[in-house]
Amino acid sequence: MSAIISTQPYLCQFNQQGHNENGLCMGPTEDVQGGITAAMPGGSWLGALVSGIASDMFGRKTSIQIGAIIWVIGSIIVCASVNIPMLVVGRLINGFSVGICSAQVPVYISELAPPSKRGRLVGFQQWAITWGILIMFFICYGSSFLNGTAAFRLPWGLQAIPAILLFLGLLFLPESPRWLAKKDRWDEAKAVLTLVHGKGNPNSPWVEREMGEIREVVEFERANADVSYFELLKPSMLNRTSIGVFTQIWSQLTGMNVMMYYITYVFTMAGLADSNGGNAVLLPSGIQFVINVVMTVPALLWMDRWGRRPTLLVGAFLMCLWLSINAGLFAVYSRPANPGEFPSKSESMAITGAPAKAVIASTYLFVASFAPTWGPVSWTYPPELYPLRLRGKAVALCTSANWAFNFALAYFVPPAFVNITWKTYVLFAVFCASMFIHVFFMFPETANKPLEEVEEIFDGSKPGAIKYIGIPAWKTKNSRHLVLKQERNEVSSEEKIGMEEHKENVSA
């Protein structure tokens, strides 16, 4: 949507406001455009909730394939849209698919990945998303030179192709070994672990250790709890439920959606658009998507080394800084837009000269701060928090919170730029400051810990568990070097003794 909402073919096809003084179509009203954009995250909210049930019933892989089929159906309806209701319905269906896949892909990857590579592999998912955004943006940019409705129908139709490739590619990939174990398909679970962890050796010490931990967890969970969404609200689960849900909520409240959905509005106000409603604003807007791709790479390389907590804290601080700078620049140097100056009323301010360049620069720096921090970590962190019996439903709940706030913000931003103008940036800066405080005091470190061991951070009731009760979140440090040695079966006797002493000390 971000590359299309400012183009004349789109504005004329879905025009509700007639033409401005320059004869340009003004397109949907601000509220309706917010609703059109928000329709997809609205569908994603529902899809994410349903995905937990589907994932537990059919498996992680099959659920993602179901999402791919639904996406193709939605894309066909969107591509063929002749009016706003049809476009909204198509985007709702597309959103339902995104909700399923965005909830279950991190679960699928987390349950297949070894602990020392889990963050990197889930980060690759985020990197793939940034590539998808970049590719589609420039497809939209190229299509904007076409005449008539082909300018937006072509990219809306092409977006079905990746879903077809996803469905076909998954046919050759294994199911999650933890889901297979949960269904008592132990031989298949071991075969998958042998494939992805044991390098084909079924007697690998790492495979045996992993199988033992999975078996212990499955048996413990069957003996102690029934599986339902309500269990996530029990006192024993409420802490980690709130952490996982707020990870996704905060990732939306960073303000990144202002940059993604409505970047053309921001750059038009900064003077990058031409006066005849052309596509001049699209190319500089596309630079931010290139930055998004490039700056996700450091997270892929070093996120497991950095740990989750430091990455989230640094990202929140930097994004608060750039949002505050943008708010100050617009507050001091902008003027109200003149009637008919811009195609949309949401483009409510005009800023020129050096301050406009500073707005563009800080916008790019904001994206560069989000990409290696909250972008990948917000998807990596929630699947690491929950026990096997609840992981599918818990991550579905967290992801539904992401899409609920995505929906709200997509709907909120156009009217916000009309009514509170530069104060929109202040609001998001306050959110970033709040999330910094929340992460520092409440979010434990999960990097480089086996998923079964992460459970011990929150639940010290299991035999031999490290009891972290009373240990503040900022002391649950990253321990990459020991995990790497454990995976290679290279832990020395002295280190084993030290690990046992650590357990005893923390328990005491």
| Mean of pLDDT over the chain | 84
Q: Region 129-153: what's the mean pLDDT?
A: 89
Please, which contacts does 351-359 make with residues 24 or more away whose CB atoms are closer than 8 Å?
351/269, 351/270, 351/271, 352/271, 355/329, 356/270, 356/271, 357/270, 358/325, 358/329, 359/266, 359/270, 359/326, 359/329, 359/330
- pLDDT band of residue 489 (cuts 50, 70, 90) is low
Q: Is the pLDDT reported for residue 246 higher than 90?
A: yes
Q: What is the pLDDT of residue 501?
A: 44
- Spatial CB neighbours of 219, under 8 Å, sequence gap ≥ 6: none
Q: Which has the minimum average pLDDT: 117-126, 190-199, 388-397, 457-466? A: 457-466
Q: Is the pLDDT reported for residue 227 higher than 70?
A: no
CATH 3.40.50.1820 fits 8-202+205-442, yes or no: no
pLDDT digits (tens, 9 = 90+) for 255-281: 887 677 778 888 889 888 765 555 677
Q: Is the pLDDT reported for residue 232 higher than 50?
A: yes
d(CA 283, CA 187): 53
- pLDDT band of residue 210 (cuts 50, 70, 90) is confident
Q: Region 388-397: what's the mean pLDDT?
A: 82
Phi, psi of 335 (to 5 degrees): -130, 160
N-terminal to C-terminal alpha carbon distance within the chain: 55
Listed residue (276, 282, 286) closest to 8, CA to CA = 276
- pLDDT band of residue 470 (cuts 50, 70, 90) is low
Phi, psi of 77 (to 5 degrees): -65, -45
Neighbours of 432 (CB within 10 A): 25
- With a pLDDT cut of 90, the percent of the chain lying above it is 42
- pLDDT band of residue 115 (cuts 50, 70, 90) is confident
- pLDDT band of residue 229 (cuts 50, 70, 90) is confident
User: Best-predicted range by mean pLDDT among 103-107, 137-141, 250-254, 285-289?
Assistant: 250-254
Place of tokens 């750059």: 267
Q: Is the pLDDT reported for residue 312 higher than 50?
A: yes
Per residue, what are the HEC states of 306-350?
HCHHHHHHHHHHHHHHHHHHHHHHHHHHCEECCCCCCCCCCCCEE
d(CA 345, CA 368): 28
Task: Write down the domain spans for the chain.
Answer: 8-202+205-442, 451-507
Q: Cα dist. 157→40, 75, 81, 115, 327 in Å? A: 16, 6, 11, 39, 37
Six-digit token pair at 218?
């499955």
d(CA 307, CA 120): 11
Q: What is the pLDDT of residue 133?
A: 86
Phi, psi of 349 (to 5 degrees): -125, 160
